[in-house]
């Protein structure tokens, strides 16, 4: 992409209500534009990042065996009346009446819609397990939308729904999501910690929130330090038997505020105790027959008897993750994207557009590095402004091409994360960066 043809509206003056660093940086880098409270347009740079996050989430859902569908944003109230949630959901639900006076709503979640799909087609335990997911915009009329995309009213969520014949089978589905979540967040460059979460009136121990530690997080959380040192399980696991992996993590103390057990926490050695703020990036939940019973989603079991299926739902805040990644990865100069979600693989900075030798070298690099999806600053802005924009938008590598260097036969390669700079010949720089792909 040539910057001269791109739309990258970086901003100097940002609204005072942008309190946290990720919100400020997303506005400054021209990633998002507020349309109304908690409702945003995603500008080109932001959209690139959002799509990358979405794709990693998708790949890890697919790997775990979940199957993608797409459900609508608009839902009929009738389905929610069946599950008895229409009244219960309260003011967070945006209720809309259509021209035929039918009660509709902008979906805040999709248990009812997916249960209706399930019951229409699936009749036998032989067709289970089944896990259907979608990545779709949700609307919740939050009392306090804030922190930019972190707590929006309209936000992008991955929501998966598992259907199983009984509780032990549902536990396997739960474990698959548990491991898929650890792998997903690790690929996004985040350290996530599964923490016991409230199961409400349903009870049981099968609800975990996945938390990324950050000073600006909205949740107060407590955990055993050992969890911070544990890597993700990775893709090469036995997806049919994940109990040991889940047990290893859930044996260690980790709870959000609502579930906090001060005595159990105090029992840890003092230097093992982590009490911190965190961002909830995902939530997995087993709810048994909560929707299948009232909505009559039943399958015939091996004995021929029909029974309500056991369900779970599993959310990831895809748009919230864009903010969470920035909270976890930035410095004074701007965003530092982890490579897997970076909007561009490399930024090429032409320090003297119009100078024929500089143009030729930069064009050569731009053509040679096509596979890295380069952003080429071919504008005639001042070098200082170019450097600060590139640092701000956080592309992992910068290739800086200027007339002085070229006279010496070199260009500069800068790693955004460390700030480390290296002078190389143009060919050597191209070779080094090409190896990053
Ligand atoms: P929270 O406690 O933050 O309101 P929740 O418990 O309401 O979250 P879920 O219903 O479990 O959230 O939704 C799944 C995921 O969607 C959450 O883990 C979070 O990452 C994301 N999410 C929820 N509400 C919002 C929001 N208002 N803006 C952005 N992302 C959200
Ligand atoms: Mg909520």
Interval 136-177: pLDDT, tens:
999 999 999 999 999 999 999 999 999 999 999 999 999 999
Q: How far apart are CA 138 and CA 157, in angstroms?
A: 7
Residues 48 and 177 in one domain: yes
Residues 216 and 357 in one domain: no
Residues 169 and 70 in one domain: yes
| Closest protein CA for atom 11 of ligand 1 | 283
Domain boundary among 280, 305, 335: 335
Residues pairing with 193 in the sheet: 211
State the pLDDT at residue 16.
85
Quote the domain boundaries for residue 143: 3-335
Residues 314 and 348 in one domain: no
Residue with tokens 């090409």: 434
Q: Which CATH number characterizes residue 8's domain? A: 3.30.930.10
Residues 370 and 289 in one domain: no
Domain boundary among 296, 316, 335: 335
Residues 165 and 67 in one domain: yes
- State the average pLDDT over residues 401-427: 98
Residues 67 and 96 in one domain: yes
State the pLDDT at residue 389.
98
| Closest protein CA for atom 2 of ligand 1 | 280
Residues 331 and 223 in one domain: yes
Q: Which CATH number characterizes residue 418's domain? A: 3.40.50.800
Ramachandran assignment for 291, one of left (phi > 0), alpha (psi -120 to 50 degrees), beta (any other): alpha
> Which of 68, 49, 132, 39 lies closest to 375 in space, CA to CA?
49
- State the average pLDDT over residues 100-121: 98
Sheet strand arrangement including 103-106: 74-76, 103-106, 94-97
| Closest protein CA for atom 1 of ligand 1 | 280
Tokens representing residue 289 in the block: 């027959």
Contact 148, 27 (CB under 8 A): yes
Q: Write the pLDDT tens digit of every residue in 266-290.
A: 999 999 999 999 999 999 999 999 9
Domain boundary among 317, 335, 353: 335
State the pLDDT at residue 14.
84
Residues 363 and 232 in one domain: no
Residues of the chain with pLDDT > 90: what percent?
Answer: 95
State the pLDDT at residue 159.
98
| Closest protein CA for atom 21 of ligand 1 | 317
Q: How many domains does the chain have?
A: 2
Quote the distance between the C-alpha of residue 387 and its chain's center. 28
Q: Strand, helix or coil at 243?
A: helix
State the pLDDT at residue 36.
97
Ligand 1 pocket test target in 40, 109, 320 with most atoms within 8 Å of CB: 320
Residues 277 and 248 in one domain: yes
Q: Write the pLDDT tens digit of every residue in 60-98.
A: 999 999 999 999 999 999 999 999 999 999 999 999 999
Going by pLDDT thresholds of 50, 70 and 90, the confidence category of residue 203 is low
State the pLDDT at residue 138.
98
Tokens representing residue 32 in the block: 């998002």
pTM for this model (two decimals): 0.97
State the pLDDT at residue 201.
67
Give the chain's mean pLDDT: 96
Residues 212 and 353 in one domain: no
Q: Which ligand is nearest to the CA of 217?
A: 1
Residues 241 and 377 in one domain: no
């Amino acid at each position: 992409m040539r910057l001269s043809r791109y739309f990258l509206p970086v901003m100097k003056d940002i609204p005072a209500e942008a309190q946290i660093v990720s919100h400020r940086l997303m506005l400054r880098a021209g990633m998002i534009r507020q349309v109304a409270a908690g409702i945003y347009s995603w500008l080109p740079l932001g959209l690139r990042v959002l799509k990358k996050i979405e794709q990693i989430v998708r790949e890890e859902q697919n790997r775990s065996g979940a199957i993608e569908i797409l459900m609508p944003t608009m839902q009929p109230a009738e389905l929610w009346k069946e599950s008895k949630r229409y009244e219960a959901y309260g003011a967070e639900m945006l209720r809309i009446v259509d021209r035929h006076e039918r009660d509709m709503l902008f979906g805040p979640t999709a248990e009812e819609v997916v249960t209706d799909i399930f019951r229409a087609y699936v009749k036998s335990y032989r067709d289970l397990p089944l896990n259907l997911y979608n990545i779709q915009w949700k609307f919740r009329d939050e009392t306090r939308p804030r922190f930019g995309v972190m707590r929006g009213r309209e936000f992008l969520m991955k929501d998966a729904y598992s259907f199983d014949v009984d509780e032990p089978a549902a536990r396997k589905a739960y474990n698959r999501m548990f491991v898929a979540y650890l792998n997903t967040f690790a690929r996004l460059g985040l350290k996530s910690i599964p923490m016991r979460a409230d199961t409400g009136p349903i009870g049981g121990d099968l609800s975990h929130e996945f938390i990324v530690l950050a000073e600006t997080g909205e949740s107060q959380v407590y955990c055993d330090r050992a969890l911070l040192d544990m890597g993700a399980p990775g893709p090469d696991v036995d997806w049919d038997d994940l109990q040991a992996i889940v047990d290893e993590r859930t044996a260690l103390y980790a709870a959000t505020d609502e579930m906090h057990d001060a005595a159990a926490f105090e029992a840890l050695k003092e230097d093992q105790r982590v009490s911190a703020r965190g961002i909830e990036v995902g939530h997995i939940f087993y709810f048994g027959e909560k929707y299948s019973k009232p909505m009559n989603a039943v399958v015939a079991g091996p004995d021929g008897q029909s029974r309500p299926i056991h369900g779970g739902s599993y959310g990831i805040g895809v748009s919230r993750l864009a903010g969470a990644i920035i909270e976890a990865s930035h410095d004074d100069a701007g965003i530092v994207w982890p490579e897997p979600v970076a909007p561009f693989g490399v930024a090429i900075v032409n320090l003297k557009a119009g100078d024929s030798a500089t143009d030729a070298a930069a064009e050569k690099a731009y053509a040679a590095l096509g596979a890295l999806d380069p952003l080429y600053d071919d504008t005639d802005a001042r070098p200082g402004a170019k450097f600060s924009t590139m640092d701000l938008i956080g592309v992992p590598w910068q290739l800086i091409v200027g007339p002085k260097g070229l006279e010496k036969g070199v260009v500069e390669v800068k790693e955004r994360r460390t700030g480390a700079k290296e002078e190389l010949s143009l060919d050597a720089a191209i070779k080094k960066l090409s190896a990053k792909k």
